[in-house]
Chains A and B, each alone.
Chain A
Amino acid sequence: MKSLAELEAIRQRAKADLAARTDGGRKVVVGMATCGIAAGARPVMNAMVEELRTRNVNDIAVTMTGCIGVCRLEPIVEVIEENGDKVTYVKMDATKAKRVVVEHLINGQICQDLTIGADEAEAKAKAKA
């Protein structure tokens, strides 16, 4: 059974980690209103945090926001760079979330096929056909 006493050891380790850490200024935002949650945003958010933790990346903040406005494309994840540039990923799931962590956040390659742009292009192509 877990107990509060275990937090003391966690505190000591975290203090050492915190001192060594710098804030990278990059941010990941997950849409977490009724629409996002119902579409599966919580596992997406938790998968991202878990993957970042596994890979020992501590300088990216993962946070949530309300309705982004395009509910049919939820779960939505936005990656916001330090300079304000933003990439919007749509129709996410836990597997795609892990891919974004590795390919985009760590290796700097945007997952073009998961972006809102790719989704819209696909929808347009379908409408024409």
Chain B
Amino acid sequence: MQDLSLHLMDIVQNSLKAGAVRILIEVRADTSINMLYITIEDNGHGMSAAMVESVTDPFVTTRTTRSVGLGIPLLKEHCELTGGKLELQSEEGKGTCLRASFGLYSIDRMPLGDISDTMTALVLSDPNVDYVVRFVCDDNEFELDWHDIRDQLADVPLNEPAVLEWIGENLAEKQHYIFGGVLNEITG
């Protein structure tokens, strides 16, 4: 994985496989403690306590094509390299919350990447899933809720090219606005 938005894409696929229809994605930078947090909270079918324990083991996976699953182990590795950690909470029947933390200015922290590209690809693959995307940097905050988009669009599906383009441009602009000058890779 070259950046955090690709990890995000990978982890959200787990939520989708768990049948989630509403997924919250938050990227939060806190400069007072120099940490970056990425939180993914879904309403999928959740995992047992035993599965939560074992899911960071690369030899545990739900996939059937092979017995190796690298998505979560890779992300955990990248968190820990920067002085952060990976936290997982899950309840069967309720959903799962994954929080990845990173040292904001660690040399080993991967760039954030384009959250907008990840989100447009996800909408394209299943336009019926609801997302909430939140960018927070200290006191600045932006939130885009798919409920609000659907309210405006009425019966037009979200995978319409013009809608996808709007979502992409909106998120790219806000990512730059919120994190510009704070994350090293995004100029102010």
Measured CB to CB, the residues of A under 8 A from B are 1-2, 4-8, 10-11, 13-15, 17-18, 32-34, 37-38, 42-43, 45-46, 49, 52-53, 58, 62-64, 66-69, 71
Contacts and interface: CB of A to CB of B under 8 A. Distances in A.
B124 A64 contact: yes
Nearest to B120: A46
Given A7-B163, A17-B160, A33-B71, 13 more contacts: A2-B170, A10-B162, A10-B166, A13-B162, A32-B125, A34-B71, A38-B1, A38-B6, A45-B124, A46-B120, A49-B120, A64-B121, A66-B13
Contact of B13 (A2, A6, A7, A33): A33
Interface residues of B, number: 38
Per DSSP, are chain A's interface residues mostly helix, strand or loop, or mixed?
Answer: helix
Contacts of A18: 156, 160
A6 B153 CA distance: 10
A13 B165 CA distance: 14
A47 B166 CA distance: 16
B152 A11 contact: yes
Interface stretch (B18-26, B61-69, B97-105): B61-69
A2 B152 CA distance: 14
B149 interface: yes
Nearest to B113: A42
Contacts of A68: 65
Interface string B120-136: 11001100000000000
Contacts of A6: 166
A103 to B, nearest CB: 21
A38 B120 CA distance: 17
B117 A46 contact: yes
Contacts of A69: 65-66
Contacts of A13: 162
Nearest to B162: A10
A113 to B, nearest CB: 26
Pick the 10 closest A-B CB pairs, nearest first. A7-B152, A2-B170, A64-B125, A34-B71, A14-B156, A53-B161, A69-B65, A14-B160, A10-B162, A67-B65
